[in-house]
Amino acid sequence: MAENIRVAVAGAAGRMGKEVVKMVLEDPTLQLVAAVNLSDEGLDAGTLVGLPPCGVTLSQDLELALVESRPQVLVDFTTPQSAYSNTVLAIKLGVSPVVGTTGFTPEQIEDLDKQCQERGIGGLIAPNFSVGAILMMKFAAQAAKYFPHLEIIEYHGDQKLDAPSGTAVKTAELIAKNREELRQGNPEEEELIDGSRGGYYSGFRIHSVRLPGVFAQQEVIFGGFGQTLKIRHDSYERAGYMPGVNIAIKKVLEYEGMIYGFEHFVD
């Protein structure tokens, strides 16, 4: 019988990190070996997420935790300011990174891919781990072949740091692969309030809504002669992302190089 996959979690005391810790502890094929966070040092990771103590306590030093615990996979849900350096460190130590933090530039992703290739390991950077969201992206990319006029509207809580969301950006990138750039709307239109038409991407617009009480939703609206098509996905809680994170932890060990987008792991 194969040994359990050894997993470390960075950002373990964050909202997503806690869900990852709980998911890993509840999966008998995974083994939590390290939990890293800038606060709550010394607290048992099981206690942190409302489970029995597991013997793994929170640490502030990622490098020391990785060296001592020897994980196969590092799951990172930290901040854009630290995720890149965390990922570089993991690759250097031969640990496959699974990163849910957004904000990576194309140049950084290319550099990380090169580092993974040189180390002979796989990695994943995913703006969204929801299987439903990935299907929404794929359906939207397919629809764009037939409905080139479209707009993306994404909704998140008012404390979200980036706009548009990583999911919206990834959706736009997938759509752009299936659609020639087409500048939509009246060519003589005038914005009476700056930004009212949303952000411009490859001819279409992306709108970011930020309100308290909202978790995470996105819809892609397509318009054609005499008809519209709406493809929408709604997330209601962070636990909904965990089946995808679970898949990523297990599949990333089968790859070599840095993969951008969880859709590559969903057949």
- Which residues touch 45 (CB under 8 Å, ≥6 apart)? 9, 12, 21, 25, 32, 35, 54, 56, 57, 58
Which one is catalytic: 138, 160, 251, 264?
Answer: 160
Q: Is residue 204 marked as binding?
A: no
Q: Is residue 148 marked as binding?
A: no
Which one is catalytic: 114, 138, 145, 156?
Answer: 156
For the stretch 48-52, contacts whose Cβ atoms lie closer than 8 Å and that sit 24 or more positions apart, written own/partner, are 48/12, 48/13, 48/18, 48/21, 49/18, 49/19, 49/21, 49/22, 49/25, 50/22, 51/22, 51/25, 51/26
Q: What is the DSSP string of 43-107?
A: -BHHHHTTS---S-BEES-HHHHHHHH--SEEEE-S-HHHHHHHHHHHHHTTPEEEE------HH
Q: Is residue 127 marked as binding?
A: yes
Q: Is residue 29 marked as binding?
A: no
Q: Is residue 136 marked as binding?
A: no
Q: Is residue 12 marked as binding?
A: yes
Q: Report strand pairing: 58-59 vs 30-36.
A: parallel
Q: Is residue 228 marked as binding?
A: no
Q: Is residue 87 marked as binding?
A: no
160 is catalytic: yes
Q: Is residue 80 marked as binding?
A: no
Q: Is residue 129 marked as binding?
A: yes
Looking at the annotation, which residues are catalytic?
156, 160
> Binding site residues, as ranges?
11-16, 100-102, 126-129, 166-167
> Binding site residues for (S)-2,3,4,5-tetrahydrodipicolinate, as ranges?
166-167
> Binding site residues for NAD(+), as ranges?
11-16, 100-102, 126-129
